[in-house]
């Protein structure tokens, strides 16, 4: 029996998928909490978001270790090899998403120390979209579902558009009322963080397509995705 079909191997592969989903669930929670922290001016909640980042970081290291163990002990081939190396790359993106959620919470705490202001209505909508992109990209990974992954790539255009609109609106507000610069800038950063979360989810989706199809769709367009 080849090494890579034994029961320990299959169970470790299952563990790898489960760890990635757990990490994904955690960063989704982090995004939701950070936005609640913004809309409800709840500084205590920011502490929870930032604290949760330690668990995300622990999972990042655990998944890397597990992937290396799988590669070293079982020498998987073809599709499994692509699955494990994709997992190795996905953790980098998930870890950055966790960092970005933490930065949103940090900006929300700063905003809560300033006089009350009307938060930009588009931010929670952008956050929902970003969070759903993360969720769908990991679902696509676990199910090896190319269609689902392609859907995430389309959502990226949508979130980029939302960010561009918000950027223009906030710039106008700043120009009209220089006293609002500080709070407006922070909202602008939050919008940028959400747009980058969308980019990371898109990276994951593109890697899933490569994993399933065995060929890369990255870099097929000339338009950079980041502002």
Is residue 166 a contact partner of residue 204, using CB atoms and an 8 Å limit? no
- Tell me how far apart the alpha carbons of residues 7 and 210 are, in angstroms, rounded to a whole number: 27
Say whether residue 213 binds its own copies (CB under 8 A): no
Say whether residue 115 binds its own copies (CB under 8 A): no
Is residue 199 a contact partner of residue 226, using CB atoms and an 8 Å limit? yes
**Closest approach of its own copies to the CB of residue 36, in Å:** 19
**Closest approach of its own copies to the CB of residue 212, in Å:** 14
Interface characters, 30-69, with its own copies (x: CB under 8 A): --------------------x--xx--xx-xx--x--xx-
Say whether residue 27 binds its own copies (CB under 8 A): no
Say whether residue 175 binds its own copies (CB under 8 A): yes
- Tell me how far apart the alpha carbons of residues 206 and 219 are, in angstroms, rounded to a whole number: 10
**Closest approach of its own copies to the CB of residue 102, in Å:** 5
Residues 6+ apart with CB under 8 A from 105: 30, 33, 34, 37, 45, 46, 49, 50
Residues 6+ apart with CB under 8 A from 144: 208, 211, 212
Instruction: State the sign of the Cα–Cα–Cα–Cα dihedral 185, 187, 191, 192.
Output: positive
Say whether residue 224 binds its own copies (CB under 8 A): yes
* Residue numbers at the binding site for its own copies (CB under 8 A): 50, 53-54, 57-58, 60-61, 64, 67-68, 71-72, 75, 77-78, 81-82, 85, 88-89, 92-93, 99-100, 102-103, 106, 171, 174-175, 178, 181-182, 185, 189, 203, 216, 218-219, 222, 224-227
């Amino acid at each position: 029996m080849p090494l890579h079909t034994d029961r320990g191997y299959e169970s470790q592969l299952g563990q790898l998928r489960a760890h990635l989903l757990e990490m994904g669930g955690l960063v989704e929670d982090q995004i939701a909490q950070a936005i609640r922290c913004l809309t409800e001016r709840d500084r205590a909640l920011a502490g929870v978001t930032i604290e949760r980042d330690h668990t995300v970081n622990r999972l990042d290291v655990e998944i890397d270790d597990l992937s290396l163990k799988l590669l070293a002990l079982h020498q998987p081939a073809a599709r499994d090899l692509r699955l494990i190396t994709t997992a190795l790359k996905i953790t980098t993106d998930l870890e950055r998403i966790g960092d970005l959620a933490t930065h949103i919470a940090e900006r929300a705490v700063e905003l809560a120390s300033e006089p009350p202001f009307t938060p930009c209505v588009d931010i929670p909508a952008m956050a929902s979209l970003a969070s759903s992109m993360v969720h769908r990209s990991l679902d696509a990974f676990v199910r090896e579902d190319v269609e689902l992954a392609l859907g995430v790539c389309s959502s990226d255009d949508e979130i980029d558009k939302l960010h561009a609109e918000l950027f223009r609106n906030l710039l106008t507000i700043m120009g009209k009322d220089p006293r609002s610069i500080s709070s407006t800038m922070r909202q602008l950063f939050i919008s940028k963080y959400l747009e980058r979360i969308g980019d990371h989810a898109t990276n994951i989706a593109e890697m899933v397509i490569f994993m399933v199809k065995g060929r890369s769709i990255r870099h097929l367009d000339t338009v950079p995705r980041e502002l």
